[in-house]
Amino acid sequence: MDYCIRDDVLARLPDLDASQNTILDALCTSASRIVDLITQRPDGFGQTAQTTRLFDSPDWDSPGGGRRLFVGDIVSIAQLRVRAATTSSWQVAAVPIAALANPIVAPTAVAGAAGVLTGAYRYAYTFVTAEGETAPTPEAVVNLVAQQGSLTVIAAGPAGTTSRRIYRTQANGLTGTGRLVATIADNVTTVLVDNVADAAIAQAAVVPATNTTGKTGDYLLRPTPETGLPGRYLQLTDIPTGILGLGTGFDSVEVTGVWGWPAVPATIKEATIEIALSMWRARGSGEGEPMGIQPLAAPALSKIIPPLAYDLLKHFRRTVFA
C-alpha cells in the first residue's frame, strides 16, 4: 500500500498540474517502499489479527531475566499463554483491563408526583462493569415535600458498562453520604422515578469513593497507549497471579491479539511526502532517479532521503534480533 497520494505532493508543489499525475503516482509508490525499507517493515503499516508463538530469552530487554518479552507492534492482546518450564502445560495470564472513566454528567433531579419523600435529597450515579464500579457523578439536589424524585439525564456508560447504580442521601443528608436506591440493569435507560423511603435504604451500600473498574492483570503492554504507538513488549506486573513468569525457550509464549495500525500513522504519511518531494527535486537536478528504488545502496538513498524523514521514521523502525 502507498502511504501518500499525488494530491498530498501536489499540495506542496503548486506549480505542477495534472499532466504530472503519472510521475507523482510513481513517486508516492517509490517513497512508500523506501519507508518500508528504512523501517524494516516489508509488510507495511496495515493491521492483522493472529495467534503467534514467540521465543523468549531471559536476556532480552531484562537485566533480571524473564521479566520482559519483545512482541512487535501489537495494539491489543486477547489472550497470553505461557508454557510452564517444568510441566510443559500452558498457563493463561490474567488480562489487564483499563478502568472506565468516571461519569462527569450529573443527573437532573426534579420533584415528581405525590410520594413518601420529604426533605432535601442528593442524587448521583455510577457505571458498573464486570470488574467493578466507577466513582460517582457530581450530585444533583432536589427539595421534595411528600413527593417522588424524578431523575433524567442518566448518561449511558462507555463500552463495558453493564448497568448504572443510583445513589441517594436520606432527607437533608450531607454530600457523599448517598446509599444505593436503585440499579438500572442496562446501559440504555436515562430516566428513573424514586419513591423509596429513607428507612428502606438505611442499610444499603454506600456510594463508592474510588473507581474499581480496572484490573492490573499479569502483564503490561509497553510503551503505554498514550504514546499513540502500538506496544512493543510485554512486562510482567510485580505480582502476577495467572502465570509464574515468562518462560524461556522456543515456542514458550503464545499471544493472540491484533498487530499493526488501524490506519497509516500521520507521521508515516508525512515522512513519505517528504521523501517524494526530495525525489522530485532530485529528478530536476539530476542527483537521483525517482522512478524506482534501485539502486538502494546507502550513498544513493542518502541523496534522496531528507534528514526530517529519517527523524520521523526512527521510532517506527522494527527491532530485529539476530
Answer for the pair 1, 46: CB distance below 8 angstroms, yes or no. Answer: yes
Could you please report the per-residue DSSP string of 184-213?
E-SSS---EEE---GGGGTTSPBPPSS---
Which range among 44-48, 135-139, 202-206, 308-312 shows the weakest confidence by mean pLDDT?
A: 44-48
Tell me which DSSP letter residue 239 carries.
S
Who contacts 318 (Cβ-Cβ below 8 Å, separation ≥6)? 39, 40, 41, 72, 73
Return left, alpha or beta for 249; rule: phi > 0 is left, psi -120 to 50 is alpha, else beta: left
Confidence of residue 285 (pLDDT cuts 50, 70, 90): low
Predicted local confidence at residue 321, as pLDDT: 44
Element spanning 300, H or E: helix 298-304
Residue % of the chain over a pLDDT of 70: 80
Tell me whether strands 140-152 and 163-168 are parallel, antiparallel or unpaired: unpaired
Residue 66 CA to its chain's centroid (Å): 26
In this structure, the number of other CB atoms found within 10 A of the CB of residue 40 comes to 11
Say what the alpha-carbon torsion angle 174, 175, 179, 182 is, to the nearest 10 degrees: 120
Single-letter amino acid, residue 154: I
Put the strands of the sheet holding 108-128 in their side by side order: 179-184, 163-168, 108-128, 140-152, 192-194
b/e map 267-300, b = 16+ CB within 10 Å:
ebbbbbbbbbbbbbebeeeeebebeebeeeeeeb
Who contacts 172 (Cβ-Cβ below 8 Å, separation ≥6)? 119, 120
Could you please report the per-residue DSSP string of 245-279?
----EEEEEEEEEEEE-SS--HHHHHHHHHHHHHH
Q: Is the pLDDT of residue 119 over 80?
A: yes
Mean pLDDT along residues 42-57? 78
pTM for this model (two decimals): 0.59
Q: Is the pLDDT of residue 288 over 60?
A: no
pLDDT tens digits for range 133-191: 999 999 999 999 999 999 999 999 999 999 999 999 999 999 999 999 999 999 999 99
Predicted local confidence at residue 194, as pLDDT: 98
Find residue 125's DSSP bridge partners: 166
